[in-house]
Amino acid sequence: MRLSDRKVLENFQVSLELTPEKSRLLVVGLGTTGLSLVRFLNHYNFQITVIDNRDYPPMKAQLLDDFPDVPLITGKFNDHDFKGVSHLIVSPGLSLDQSVIKVACTQGAKIISDIDLFALSTETPIVAITGSNGKSTVTTMLGEMAEASATKTAIGGNLGTAALNLLDVNVALYVLELSSFQLERTSRLNATAATVLNISEDHLDRHKTLENYIFEKTKIFNGVGVMILNKDDEAVCNMRRHERKHYYFSLKKLTDFHIKTRIEGDYFAYKNCELMACLDFPLVGHHNQANVLAALALGHAVNLDLHKMCDALKNMKGLAHRMQTVANINEVEWVNDSKATNVGACMAALEGYQHNVILLAGGDAKGANMTELKTSVQQHVKALIVMGKDAPLLEATLEEIVTVYHVETMIDAVEKANQIAMAKDTVLLSPACASLDQYKNYQHRGDAFIAAVRALEFT
């Protein structure tokens, strides 16, 4: 349940030294999360100022309409605007390494997050999900499984709705997708069940090293809740805390949640109990089977009915921009996996294909090591088309094992793929890179791919 205002304020004072009377809060970044913070904090009469280094942040008009009395500072950051602040709530999209933030912290400002505020505002069970790949799918999957179990559920966080906008007295379960950037500034999350699905190099431009990235991901396990661990991932297994209750999931090993093989086919299984034939699950790929096992483990940890969860799985639809079939033209399949913003996601996408993929890749590699792609490309890719900021890096890394074409735009990439594709080939947009060098986000990139492919159908 959502706690009373009195209890919420008590929690804030005890855990965060945060009070309406004495605290001065600076909300840094006016996106969806920033606006949710203003709405939430305004309800408790906190002293809030909002600052954004853009002249026209996306939620500026709505802030001015809904909260005209809340001060807003836009444009380049300066130290003066951060002085005298007791608490900083910094957008996940902004690095904590910025000098103005570091100076404010040396002067006594405490960094907190919207996830901290959320966790201290409810006693309703929270499931928290992170990982390099698959977190949006598992979050969506678990939400649908919970609803099938007649459990009123709200999902959000890094996916969809900002966490603070989810708070509702009628909700019986919260399912939060959390990024490493959100976890980096979160200290009070005590999820009922939590998982790190997997680890591969990602966001090294912000975290600098893989060890730092893993450290931030591990914060999802702060607290005393049930740990859901991928037994096939060494980095995740090393996060286990022996005093804590835990469930493992694995595609390769016999463990709590696993794949059971019988003569007639494979089954999703819990211990020795067969739950559902893998063929009854509509999404393809081993990575999606791992997602199913993780979702089942998380649901079981919060007492959802296993059989009702399986009923929901049978009707699952894939997420947009995640292994989304766009068209089949002259026996060539065109697949949009724009959400594959790191190497691990691209490798997972390539699994299951024969050596018949024309791969479209490139964008901002975020400091990742592209050499991890070599084996997957060698096994599954017949031609590589690269574009974007780090196209030269991909080309230099992979040109010895596959024919590489360098193009400038998505339209060029689709046209080149159409020229070289043959019947039974798959043209796969799975960039292994972020999109912000050329697009607003991965959805915008995927939409550009879809539009270019659709144009082929009319030529």
- What amino acid positions are annotated as catalytic residues? 135, 158, 203
Asked if 286 and 251 count as a contact pair (C-beta separation under 8 A), the reply is yes
Give dist(CA 301, CA 136) in Å, integer.
Answer: 19
Q: How many residues does the structure list for the chain?
A: 459
3-state SS, 13-72, equals: HHHHCCCCCCCEEEEECCCHHHHHHHHHHHHCCCEEEEEECCCCCCCHHHHHHHCCCCCE
- Cα 18-19-23 angle, rounded to 5 deg: 75
Q: Which H or E run includes 419?
A: helix 410-420
Asked if 335 and 427 count as a contact pair (C-beta separation under 8 A), the reply is yes
Asked if 289 and 275 count as a contact pair (C-beta separation under 8 A), the reply is no
Give dist(CA 381, CA 375) in Å, integer.
Answer: 10
Identity at 426, one-letter amino acid code:
T
Question: Who contacts 198 (Cβ-Cβ below 8 Å, separation ≥6)?
Answer: 131, 132, 133, 134, 230, 233, 236, 290, 344
Hunting for tokens 């999902």 — which residue is that? Answer: 155
Helices (H) and strands (E) in the chain, counts: 17, 20
Backbone angles phi, psi at 335, to 5 degrees: -125, 130
